[in-house]
Amino acid sequence: MNKIYRISGVCEITGLKTSTIYAHMKKGNFPTGVMLTSKARGWPEDQLKQWLEQRAKAQETATV
Domains of the chain and CATH, by start: 4-63 (1.10.1660)
What local confidence, expressed as pLDDT, does residue 61 receive?
A: 85
Q: 34-35 and 4-5 as β-strands: parallel, antiparallel, unpaired? A: unpaired
Query: What's this model's pTM, rounded to 2 decimal places?
Result: 0.87
Averaged pLDDT for residues 40-60: 95
Q: Percentage of the chain with pLDDT > 90?
A: 88
- Give the whole-angstrom CA distance, residue 16 versus residue 63: 22
What local confidence, expressed as pLDDT, does residue 63 receive?
A: 74
What local confidence, expressed as pLDDT, does residue 14 receive?
A: 96
Give 29-47 pLDDT, tens digit per residue: 999 999 999 999 999 999 9
